[in-house]
Amino acid sequence: MAHGKNRRVLKDIQNQPDDRQIPIGKAGIKNLLYPIDVLDRENKLQHTIARVSLYVDLPHHFKGTHMSRFVEILNELHGKVSLRNIGATLKTMTERFECTTAHLEIRFPYFIEKSAPVSKTKSLMDYQCAFLASFDHERKPHTEDLIVEVVVPVATLCPCSKEISDRGAHSQRSWITIRVRSRELVWIEELIAIAEAEASSGLYALLKREDEKQVTEQAYERPRFAEDMARAVAQKLKQDQRIVWFQVESENLESIHNHNAYAMVTSS
């Protein structure tokens, strides 16, 4: 009993007032490595490691926010992160922190088994994906804003180089980034397939000689500017009735220039 009476009360610095009259739009934790399960169209679930960032708004009169609460909320998901429970997680954040807005960013590698075009040799190809979600308690109706992002590495061959050169054409690795808001589930695999179909060629983790020949010749027959890919992918997304908003970025890591070629299309 005596021990309890002498227990030291630890000061809560975060809750102390701040007199600078400057609110903070986002305060929280960034890039926490965390194991998660993601819905997989072929295998139902895929285990991966995500970099998770959680933020809330901080009123001007509070000195700081409680970082441990973010991890506690994440732990309550037990790694079962999906598009279905992100909304509930955001609302929990606004309740626990007594704030107006909450943001959750989950960035993770996603693996798809691909077969080489000729030998059919199988290998795992990785893609960088993200769920970018936010919730504003003052916005009506009270629904979360959710963006799915995929970054797809592809190969491109320059149409101009092919046209003006007597022998060959320069090619390079490129990135197609797709972000979508949708009214129904759009699988990560679907977005990746759209991007790869509009490039000169997709990439593979493993190719035999006969595959390399096929991929090289295919790319030569399908030259693409960065602008070509951005427009073509946008056209495909525009036709999908599930998608209500999209943004496409195309970036070529130019092999003979000291710069990258870039194009972006955003839906109205």
Residue-wise pLDDT for 78-135, tens only, equals 777 777 788 889 999 999 888 899 999 999 999 999 999 999 999 999 999 999 999 9
Query: For 147-167, how does the pLDDT look when each residue is reduced to its tens digit (9 = 90+)?
Result: 999 999 999 999 999 999 999
pLDDT reading at 266 higher than 70:
yes
Of 1-5, 131-135, 243-247, the range with the lowest mean pLDDT is 1-5
Residue 63 confidence (pLDDT): 59
What pLDDT is attached to residue 143? 77
Query: Residue 183 and residue 237: Cα distance in Å, rounded?
Result: 13
The predicted model gives 4-19 an average pLDDT of 62
Q: Which residues pair with 81 in a beta bridge?
A: none
Whether the per-residue pLDDT at 222 is higher than 60: the answer is yes
Half-sphere exposure of 261 (CA within 13 A, CB side): 19
- The answer, yes or no, to whether residue 52 has pLDDT greater than 70, is yes
DSSP state of 43: T
Average pLDDT, the chain: 89
7 DSSP assignment? P
Residue percentage of the chain with pLDDT more than 70? 89
- Look at residue 83 in the predicted model and tell me its pLDDT: 75
Q: How remote is the C-alpha of 66 from its chain's centroid? A: 26
The pLDDT assigned to 232 comes to: 98
**Mean pLDDT of all residues in 202-210:** 96
Residue 44's pLDDT is: 87
Contact 97, 56 (CB under 8 A): yes
pLDDT greater at residue 23 or residue 160: 160
Q: How confident is the model at residue 144 (pLDDT cuts 50, 70, 90)?
A: confident
Tell if the pTM clears 0.85, that is, is over it.
yes
In terms of C-beta density within 10 A (0-12 exposed, 13-18 middle, 19 or more buried), how is residue 49 classed? exposed
The domains of the chain, with CATH numbers, are 18-107 (3.10.270.10), 144-268 (3.10.270.10)
User: In the predicted model, what is the mean pLDDT of residues 219-242?
Assistant: 97
Q: What is the pLDDT of residue 5?
A: 60
pLDDT band per the 50, 70, 90 thresholds, residue 62: low
C-beta separation of 150 from 192 below 8 A? yes
Give me 130's structure tokens.
């993200």
Does the pLDDT of residue 60 top 60, yes or no?
Answer: no
pLDDT of residue 77: 83
pLDDT tens digits, one per residue of 166-192 = 998 999 999 999 999 999 999 999 999
